[in-house]
Structure 1
Amino acid sequence: MPDKETTHAETREYALSSCNTHDVVPGHGTELIQADAWTDVAPWRKAERKRLIDERLAVDAEERQAKSDRIASRLDLTIGKVSGRIVSGYWPFRGEPDLRNWAIKVIERGARIALPVVIKKGWPLEFRVWGPGDPLERGVWNILVPSHGPSVQPDVVIAPVVGFDQANYRLGYGGGFFDRTLAAMPKRPFVVGVGYSNSRIQTIYPQPHDIPMDVIVTDE
């Protein structure tokens, strides 16, 4: 942490400017953070990311699937008609909601599903069309991605969240891929964050590079 940090037993307080002395770190109560200082926000996000991932991995697999099914049903209401549209999904990773069955049903209803592929660190994601039976390979973080296939611009982007706040800002894995991708797209898609309801936090302390989701869909 920066040298602004002062430790008193188990309570940590961060130096604050006078304009944000009431910003309380969600989930920790006694911890305060300067909302406009990336040197403070970055390590806080790292710790919060670990906490939230550990929490969701501790949930029984059957319960996670039940939550995923509830998210899927709410996605149908949120997105509406899918026929003729390209919907970007994802291959689940580290306890994320598993929406693969939902994606297959979306294909059956006339849409195309695309999966995000990391091409290179610091680059926007590429979206490749995928369908059941299409070959997959291990990509970054060992996530399965389409081996080949046309690169497309999705109409709807489904973005899994590690955490999210009331302003629809997404806490991801720290690589900045989704923000970079959305900023580079010639036409903004409808962006839907998906996650478990207990991943809600007060704020992620959004920075200039952060782009909010249009809506967040949870199991509640």
Structure 2
Amino acid sequence: MSRPRRIGILGGTFDPVHIGHLRAALEVTELMELDELRLIPSARPPHRDTPSSSAQDRLAMVRCAVQDLPLLDVDARELARDKPSYTLDTLESLRAELGAECQLYLLLGWDAFCGLPTWHRWGELLDHCHILVLQRPDADSEAPEALRNLLAGRSVADPQALVGAGGQIAFVWQTPMAISATQIRQLLASGRSVRFLVPDAVLAYITAHGLYRA
């Protein structure tokens, strides 16, 4: 009997996409033996400032970033919506497309995970997926009170022991990489190099289109 497909989901503004995003995606793909990991650029993120660059540029940069990575793909469905990018809507759409058996893994950084109680219909997320919390070894903060019962009831110590199409939470330790899109935009605005912080193809796109200049 063949195992269900395993699909990872990493959303974000990707303004711009950088090697921290890609390293996290690759590490989870290998650890969880995913069939595919989709990077999903958000159009109008409800919890973030409006992105500095256009949806078209952000989508193009993510496509540049994954062009030589066969297990990483780009999913533009949130950019096609004329409303805020709610993760629940995306999960419902993916579940309808991929079927009930597919194992969906939603990747969230620790800060995003701690902010879950402010998300649209956040209590329904686990109806559609497992959540993998990307945790760095240097992170030492505790989860907010609103998440403690959820963690107590849904956490699995070993991410590779997650079973079923969704419903559980596991922590995945990440290689520490203190890189942020904000830092990259600031460096570019001040005329400094961001080489080795973003893939060369992304840097070439930024340069060619004059993005993030002061």
Structure having the higher helix fraction is 2
Structure showing greater relative contact order (alpha-carbon pairs closer than 8 Å, 6 or more residues apart):
2
Structure having the higher strand fraction is 1
Q: Between Structure 1 and Structure 2, whose CA radius of gyration is higher?
A: 1
